[in-house]
Every structure is written in C-alpha cells, then in structure tokens.
Amino acid sequence: MEQLAAWLTGSETIEFREGPVPQPGPGELLLSVGAAVTCGTDVKVYRRGGHPRMLEVPSPFGHEMAGTIIGLGEGIDGWREGERIVVSNSASCGSCDFCRRGDENLCADLLYLNGAFARYLLVPARFVDRGVYRIPDELDFSVAALGEPLACVLHGIGKLAPQPGEGGALFGAGPIGLLFTAVLSAGGVELVVADPNESRLELARKLGAADTLLVERGGSGADRARSLGPGPPGFDFSIDATGVSEGWHDALAAVRPGGRVSLFGGCAPGTAIQLDPHRLHYDELTVMGAYHHRPEDFRAALALLAEGSFDSGLLLSLERPLEELSQALDDMIARRAVKVVIRPQPGV
C-alpha cells in the first residue's frame, strides 16, 4: 500500500504527494477512504487558496469522507478493523463553556480535520473520541459522506425552526441549498428556491420545492420572490445559501413582518452589507447566523440518510478518481456537477 494525498498549495493549485501509509499512534485510527465528496466550501477554498478557520496552505485537502478502519493505535476501545465509518471534519474539546451548553460548533478549541482527498487518512485521537460514527452496510460511502454538509443544514434548520405550512424563500441552489430544499420539503414546508442556473432549479423541483425562480447572477431576486410568498407580500422565513452579499440582501428583503432570516452562506472575510434599521426594528425581523454542526446534528444527518427520505443520488452528479480532483472542482465551478464523488482507491 502507498499513500497518495491531495494538498492545496495555493489558489487553484493542487499537489499530489506520495509516500508511505501513515501508521496510527496511541488513540488514533487509520481510515481507508472509500469515498470523498466535493462541496461548495471546497470550491471556495480552492479558488481563494485557503479558509479563515479550516485550513491554511499548504494543507491536506477535503473534509467530507467515509471509509473503512484498517488500523488502530494503542489504547482504543470500542472500535475494530473492518468497521465502516464516517469521520466528522471537526472535533470539539467537550469542556469549554460552549461545549457544556451544547454549542460544540462554537467550541473555544474546535479542531478541524482535512485530508479526505487521499487514499488513507490518519484520524487523530480527539476525532476518534468525538467525531467518528458507524454507518450501516447498505449505505454507500458516497452517501454517508453527505453526513457532514447535511449536519450543517440540520443545524441551520434547527435554529430557524420552520413549521409545516409556513412559506420560505431560499436563495442559492448549490449543494447546501439543495439539501435545505430536500429536508424542508420532506417536512411539509412550502419552499420557493431562487437561483441563476436552470439545471439547479430543476433539481430543486425534483427534491420537492413548491416553486422556483430564475434570477440573474449578482442581481436582486427579492422583489420577484416576495410575490410568491404566502402574503402579505413576503415569506415567513428566508435562507441565504449563496455566501455573497447580494444573497444576504435578498434574504433580508424577502421576509414579511415578523419574518426570520438565516444568513447561512459564509461570505468572504471583509464583506460588508447595509441593514435597514427601521425595517429591522418595526417589522420585528429575526436575523441569525448558522455555522457548522454539532455531534447531535451529525448523528441526525446519518439517520436521515439511512432512512432514504430523499434521493441523495440527485446531488452526486459524477464520479472521478483522486487524480482528477482538479477536474472535479472545475465541473462544480462550471455547474456541470452539484457534487462529485472522488474514489481514492485504485481500481475502485
């Protein structure tokens, strides 16, 4: 066995590094990566050459993965070689104020794990303790790897607390937006999805969107979207899944009095937007951020995927070998794929 791992070394620059397979130390385990999946965050990190929290280049790359345990370090109880697992891309300390109150995503010492785009991944001890989950035999590794983004979505939905029968608007039908669409629609929420790409809107309709709206990239879609709301003009809630300031403006403008706004998409550092204090106050708007996920979100996501309550295959557009990672990210950038499954093992 030999290691082959993708490292991000700069903006749109990936280097493949070969070497011996790493060996697990005390408390660690070794994962044979069965599937890693690309995501919108990977695209942002790839294009920007880093992430303000998750990684600094040069760094191993990728964070949505599942596979098989093939090695255990000393002192590990409760796991065995051959078990199929998914690994979270973060692990909280479990002892700070945030962790004690159940906000592990805000942990004062949150560690991140990158390196999914590799044949083998060494899982550190804290992740073994707090971020490894068994998956059933019938769940393909590629579907199990969706546990990470779905956990983020479930965390966002939990904060937003939409109710069956409410009407919501979602801006951005990328991978995250489509997961929001699938979960909310399955829960009986009427969702209007706005995006500048018709093929993404078609997927949103297949995943249960009540209506869709084709908007111009970088332009305002809020005025047109409001007319599709339950009325008076506007929605009970809105979600930004674009991660750009125009999407945030649209989400804020789309709700009616008493509305709730989830600014879910993470903007680039230094981004600034203007708020209307008059409307925020007199319309009693609730504006919230939603970042990352907690262990309870991850467990709920895996249970949802195992139930098969929505067609996850609609999100997994293509498969490519590890050596074609750059092409996979280009597929996403060009909107030829929603998410791409990377199969790191030769011959798989």
**Locus of tokens 């990190």:** 45
Q: Which of 49, 52, 53 is nearest to 15 (CA)?
A: 49
Q: Note the pLDDT of residue 296.
A: 98
Q: pLDDT per residue over 40-52, tens digit each?
A: 999 999 998 988 8
Say yes or no to pLDDT of 217 above 90. Answer: no
Say yes or no to pLDDT of 161 above 90. Answer: yes
Pick the CATH number of 3-146+315-343 from 3.30.2130.10, 3.40.190.10, 3.90.180.10, 2.40.10.340: 3.90.180.10
In this prediction, residue 219 has a pLDDT band, given cuts at 50, 70 and 90, of low
Over range 299-307, report the average pLDDT.
96
CATH topology of domain 153-289: Rossmann fold (3.40.50)
Conformational region of residue 191, where left means phi above 0, alpha means psi within -120 to 50, and beta covers everything else:
beta
Domain with CATH 3.90.180.10 in the chain: 3-146+315-343
Q: Note the pLDDT of residue 348.
A: 64
326, burial (CB in 10 Å: exposed 0-12, middle 13-18, buried 19+): middle
Percent of the chain with pLDDT over 90: 87
Domain with CATH 3.40.50.720 in the chain: 153-289
Q: Note the pLDDT of residue 3.
A: 97
pTM above 0.85, yes or no: yes
Say yes or no to pLDDT of 220 above 80. Answer: no
Q: pLDDT per residue over 316-325, tens digit each?
A: 999 999 999 9
Q: Which of 90-99, 182-191, 265-274, 297-306 has the lowest mean pLDDT?
A: 265-274
3-state secondary structure of 202: helix
Q: Which of 113-122, 125-134, 190-199, 214-223 has the lowest mean pLDDT?
A: 214-223
Task: Provide the residue type at 214 as one letter.
Answer: L
